[in-house]
Amino acid sequence: MTSANNFDQQVEKNYKHNYRVNFLDGTFFWFGTSFIAAQTILPAFISNITINPIIIGMVSAIWASGWYLPQLFTSNWVQSLSLKKIVPVKYGFFTERVPLLLLPLSAWIFIKSPTAALILFLILYSWHSIGAGFIAVAWQDMIAKIIPLKRRGRFFGITNFGGTFAGIIGAFYSVKIIKNFVFPYNYMICFSIAGLAVLISWVFLSKTKEVEEENIKPRPNNHDYRGLIFKIFKKDKNFTSFILYRVVSLIGAVGLGFVAIYAKISLHVTDNMIASFTISMLVGQAISNLLFGWLSDKKGHKICLEISNFSGFLVLIITLLTTNPIWLYVSFFFMGAYIAGNILSGIAIIFEFSDPDIRPTYIGIASTSGGIVTALTPIFAGWIAKGFGYPPLFVGATLLWVVGFLMLKFVVQEPRGMKNTILE
């Protein structure tokens, strides 16, 4: 245990080490996930088994809701832990990393049974996504503990830049693999590289030095914890407005998960061209991560989210208007900018709404409210695409995104510097 002053000194002492190991964790994780990009490679893989847009929508639903939904249910537990690292390291190995090590089996089984391959893929991808959501609050709270407030933007920006740069390299090779090897062996190789890379990233994550906190409040019972949640919604109007904006924007963002399959069906692009869109997307992420990392430290995260949401709006506008697949490289570039802002500032802004003592609860509320939306809307969107086509889906998503942008711009206030009074 350590006093408050000594706690800050220890955090500062460990800062450079923690920066390095978590940078390497992020770099290898992003490199690995570039071989299983949910916006490009996974829809292309699924489309070799079925082109049913409802099934394609399930990939987006699993990816997003698996990350978001579990977080409120773990936040009370995480809040009572003096060390957060144990969750992403000890539990996360089995809940998040192991299923990716097994993912190549889903491509291998296709040789004997395409249906079994699809079922196994959905099981393993659900295991990974829900497992990531299970450890997400603890990981985010750990990062908030080990990285001081005014360096978080740079940390996320540079770490995500390094990760996306590595991801660009990974995406380049994924294109070659998908082009030069026949299906399903090309995806077996991609999935195997992804599993190995995230395993290496876990090794670096396990090297994090976290200072144990003292004066951790006892874990409240479920009744009292529900009371705290209702109190936050009632008293913290700015945070409540942010949640409403986020719900609307996430519904609008559902259109992004269908851009790749729309390109394959309507514009007749090949699997390796879809994989090459990942490169464009990651270039957009890399550049935007540097911009948002610098800008968020200077001006706050709200302006970064505004730019990010406008970028997402441009993705759908370009996709709707183009008849030339080449323009989709521009579309995916802006998709990368949207993802960068949504990850960097979408995570870090939550830290600034809350008091550190109840930060996991704020993280959980923000994430699970989004998870409820993302669990349902991609499948509903797939039903719309199947019944009415992709353009009506993109138009509806675009209109919702405009509403979300206006809410963020004119209703939500930048939380940096605002005092949180929930515990008073």
For every residue of the chain, which 3-state class applies, written as one string? CCCHHHHHHHHHHHHHHHHHHHHHHHHHHHHHHHHHCCCCHHHHHHHCCCCCHHHHHHHHHHHHHHHHCCHHHHHHHHHCCCCCCHHHHHHHHHHHHHHHHHCHHHHHHHHCCHHHHHHHHHHHHHHHHHHHHHHHHHHHHHHHHHCCHHHHHHHHHHHHHHHHHHHHHHHHHHHHHHHHCCCCHHHHHHHHHHHHHHHHHHHHHCCCCCCCCCCCCCCCCHHHHHHHHHHHHHHCHHHHHHHHHHHHHHHHHHHHHHHHHHHHHHCCCCHHHHHHHHHHHHHHHHHHHHHHHHHHHHHCCHHHHHHHHHHHHHHHHHHHHCCCCCHHHHHHHHHHHHHHHHHHHHHHHHHHHCCHHHHHHHHHHHHHHHHHHHHHHHHHHHHHHHHHCHHHHHHHHHHHHHHHHHHHHHCCCCCCCCCCCCCC
Q: Which pLDDT belongs to residue 420?
A: 62
Highest mean predicted confidence (pLDDT) among 161-175, 332-346, 348-362: 332-346
Q: Would the pLDDT of 37 be above 60? A: yes
d(CA 397, CA 385) in angstroms, rounded, equals 12
Q: Which pLDDT belongs to residue 333?
A: 95
- For 21, phi then psi, to 5°, come to -70, -35
Note the pTM of the prediction, 2 decimals.
0.76
- Which of 124-138, 276-290, 367-381 bottoms out in mean pLDDT, i.e. has the lowest? 367-381
328 in Cβ contact with 269 (< 8 Å): yes
- pLDDT tens column, 12-28: 888 889 999 999 998 99
Residue range 156-176: average pLDDT?
84
- For 327, phi then psi, to 5°, come to -65, -20
Query: 290 falls in which pLDDT band (50, 70, 90)?
Result: confident
Highest mean predicted confidence (pLDDT) among 174-183, 254-263, 374-383: 174-183
Q: Which pLDDT belongs to residue 346?
A: 86
311 in Cβ contact with 334 (< 8 Å): yes
d(CA 226, CA 211) in angstroms, rounded, equals 29
Signed CA dihedral, 178, 180, 183, 188: sign only: negative
Q: Which pLDDT belongs to residue 1?
A: 47
Q: Which of the two residues, 380 and 108, has the higher pLDDT score? A: 108
Q: Which pLDDT belongs to residue 64?
A: 75
Residue range 304-321: average pLDDT?
93
Residue range 286-314: average pLDDT?
90
Q: Would the pLDDT of 340 be above 60? A: yes
Q: Which pLDDT belongs to residue 154?
A: 79
Q: Which pLDDT belongs to residue 181?
A: 93
Query: 122 falls in which pLDDT band (50, 70, 90)?
Result: very high
Q: Would the pLDDT of 67 be above 90? A: no
Q: Which of the two residues, 190 and 264, has the higher pLDDT score? A: 190
Q: Over the chain, what is the mean pLDDT? A: 86
With pLDDT > 70 as the criterion, what percentage of the chain qualifies?
Answer: 97
68 in Cβ contact with 133 (< 8 Å): yes
389: left (phi over 0), alpha (psi -120 to 50) or beta: left
Give domain 4-410's CATH number out of 3.40.50.2030, 1.10.3720.10, 1.10.10.10, 1.20.1250.20: 1.20.1250.20
Residue range 65-87: average pLDDT?
84
